[in-house]
Amino acid sequence: MKHSSSHSSSCLPFLLTTTTPIFLLLLSLICPAAATWRTPTHHQHGRNPNKPCKQLVLYYHDILFHGNGDQGNATSAAAANATKLGDYKFGMLVVFDDPVTKDGHLKSKAVARAQGFYFYDMKSTYNAWFAYTLVFNSTEHKGTINIMGADMMSEKTRDLSVVGGTGDFFMARGIATFRTDTFQGDNYFRLEMDIKLYDCYKY
């Protein structure tokens, strides 16, 4: 960290003032980090912002544990309580191991688990920040998709980032669009997750 920041600060003035090819060549010799910064060498395959290389529509079911005999069907629990800052559960952290289905029925066969957490992080409205892994272990899919981002619950749809994946979803990246399918107070909610991958190594 320390090394790279001192490195880039010493190279930056060159970058701003040099544009001719010979200077860039010299620059790449004395300042290799700047050279890779300027040259997009990454693979470009499957990258079309208008056309996902893979799409999955899945439903996430969350039943919050209340400690009143719901051990059997609860899938998430508050690990930290809300604070008294504002009226929107600021600070409450929920850890979940939720079933994920292909349709909107809680009792349908789970095709994956959603494992991770969300916490409320706005004083002025309900906003949850999610970070979780979709774990697939079926004949259809094996592997994981990692998703994180803000869930502004008052919006009709919310886009979260697909930041990576493993197995069938090796190095996947894209967008997971949330839509609240049902919301039953503190007991149960269901999200539709429309997952579009724009970076795929496996099709």
Ligand X SMILES: *[C@@H]1O[C@H](CO)[C@@H](O)[C@H](O)[C@H]1NC(C)=O
Residues near ligand X, by CB under 6 A? 63, 69-70, 73, 78, 80-81, 137, 188
Place of tokens 């952290």: 93
Residue closer to ligand X, measured from CB, 49 or 69: 69
Q: How far is the CB of 162 from ligand X (least distance, A)?
A: 20
Residue closer to ligand X, measured from CB, 51 or 109: 109
Residue closer to ligand X, measured from CB, 188 or 201: 188
Longest alpha-carbon distance in the chain: 74
Q: How far is the CB of 71 from ligand X (least distance, A)?
A: 9
3-state secondary structure of 101: strand
User: Of all helices (H) and strands (E), which one includes residue 15?
Assistant: helix 2-17
On whether the CB atoms of residues 55 and 29 are closer than 8 A, the answer is no
Q: How far is the CB of 74 from ligand X (least distance, A)?
A: 7
**To 10 degrees, what angle do helices 21-30 and 2-17 make?**
170
Q: Give the C-alpha distances (Å, rounded to integers) separating 189 from 8, 61, 95, 183.
A: 47, 6, 14, 4
Residue closer to ligand X, measured from CB, 14 or 188: 188
Q: How far is the CB of 42 from ligand X (least distance, A)?
A: 31
- Cα separation of 54 and 121, whole Å? 31
Residue closer to ligand X, measured from CB, 63 or 195: 63
Q: How far is the CB of 135 from ligand X (least distance, A)?
A: 7
- Cα separation of 186 and 162, whole Å? 27
